[in-house]
Chain A
Amino acid sequence: MIPVAFDYTAPSSVADAVSALGSDSEEIKVLAGGQSLIPVLRLRLAAPTLLVDIGRIPELRGITDEGDALVIGAMTTHAEVADSDLVKEHAGVLAKATEAVADPQVRHRGTLGGSLVHADPAGDLPAPILALDAELVIAGADGERTVPAANFFHDMFATAVGDREILTKVRIPKHTGWGAHYEKFTRVAQQWSIVAVAATVKVDGGSISAAKVALTNMGATPIRATGVEQALLGRAAAGDTVKQAASSAAEGTNPPTDTNGDASYRRHLANVLTGRAVLAAAAN
């Protein structure tokens, strides 16, 4: 299929991008890596009159070490995030989840910022961003504002980023030395997550001293499994104790029912996968 006709602009700075978004007369879509938007355009599920391509803005790319945090530009590709030694060392669960996104070709084009703003409930990156207590920097006509991940995801395909704003960067507090794992459950290759679990834990002397766990596709937005996090504290990082703590992962969730599974199946999956994710995280 061929998308509807639209005008196209590729600004070279964030300021120019924000001003391009200011038009009242246009139906505007922001084009990041395009790996979700271009299929949506091809299927004619969206019919913008103007595409603002933020792919030619150098300041939106790259991964920098800012002392106690990593800062990742919104247009940094999945391949760059997954290959980054900085991300592997200080935000391991994001590196692991990013490796699980789609396939190699899509990871070469798709971007961290694009995935987060798209906010697909089955997308793999919102959960690790939530688990890592990241902050998201949003630019608009009035300058920049920072939103914690816990307040960023509003609903299915809806975030704190307004129509006239763009996400510019993601600031992730370093989780150096934390074990990390992303447990993604699918039936076939390159499928979206039926359910997935992002887990990162700190292990001291064989017991868990800190744990962060977030769930993918257990509701319209990613969900922190706070009950599990608390139940894991001080527990041995081993089989039955972790499984028992993980058995409350699905509490308070509202998973969808679709052709891949009904809500009760997803609740079961969430508990099992959380146990696996925490054990794997504790082991690395």
Chain B
Amino acid sequence: MAQISIKVDGVEYADAVEPRTLLVHYLRDQVGKTGTVVGCDTSNCGSCTVHLDGTSVKSCTVLAVQADGHEVTTIEGLAKDGELHPMQQAFHENHALQCGFCTPGMVMQSIDLLRDNPSPTEEEVRHGLEGNLCRCTGYQNIVKAVLAAAESAPVRIGTAGGTL
């Protein structure tokens, strides 16, 4: 077993993990962050996307030991005091989900996308979400939501201290 210290959604955790433990399994099974889901298990679908030190990663393709000493933000860390993050709000308002399984990863990658490019074109949004699959094929409203978020809340998304 290896000892790790990780900050998850603002809270410090110190745990023993097997070196083979994937970050997504650590988050779900040991920290209880079941909002982050396992989709394809082969690095394709992006539903397990979280932020590691402020940039998006597929948490099924990171070992928990690699995140030792680092900071993770999951979908569960976005809402503040009961208020949805602007990207969550935009997904809500634009009906950017059908079954909802891909949504946690879509939201996390969409926030990363706007941090990198605060005013993307539709084409840039589609390209930036290339690593996230929606098997309901609900892409139209997902793209619409990201564009709406870019329009409505660029300041909060762009300046939230590197974690949001």
Contacts and interface: CB of A to CB of B under 8 A. Distances in A.
Contacts of A189: 130
Interface in A1-19: 1-8, 10
A104 B66 CA distance: 19
A42 B60 CA distance: 9
A42 B42 contact: yes
Nearest to A43: B42
B19 A34 contact: no
Contact of A104 (B25, B52, B113): B113
Interface size class of B (residues with CB under 8 A): 20 to 34
A79 B22 CA distance: 22
B44 A190 contact: yes
Contacts of A3: 20
Interface stretch (A90-98, A105-113, A169-177, A241-249): A105-113
Given A103-B46, A108-B55, A109-B62, A8 B19 contact: yes
A2 B60 CA distance: 10
B20 A34 contact: no
B148 to A, nearest CB: 20
A3 B60 CA distance: 11
B22 A105 contact: no
Contacts of B20: 2-6, 41
Contacts of B49: 105
A34 B62 CA distance: 7
A35 interface: yes
A239 interface: no
A2 B25 contact: yes
Contact of B56 (A39, A41, A104): A104
Contacts of B132: 103
A146 to B, nearest CB: 29
B57 A109 contact: yes
Contacts of A104: 56, 109, 112-113, 116, 128, 130-131
Contacts of B55: 79, 108
B127 to A, nearest CB: 9
A106 B42 contact: no
Nearest to B45: A190
A38 B21 CA distance: 11
Nearest to B112: A104
A69 B116 CA distance: 28
B63 A38 contact: yes
Interface string B1-27: 010000000000000001110100100
A7 B65 CA distance: 11
Interface of B: 2, 18-20, 22, 25, 41-44, 46, 49, 52, 55-58, 60-63, 65-66, 109, 112-113, 116, 128, 130-132
Interface of A: 1-8, 10, 31, 34-35, 38-39, 41-43, 51, 53, 55, 79, 102-106, 108-109, 189-190
6 contacts: A2-B20, A43-B42, A102-B131, A103-B131, A105-B58, A108-B52
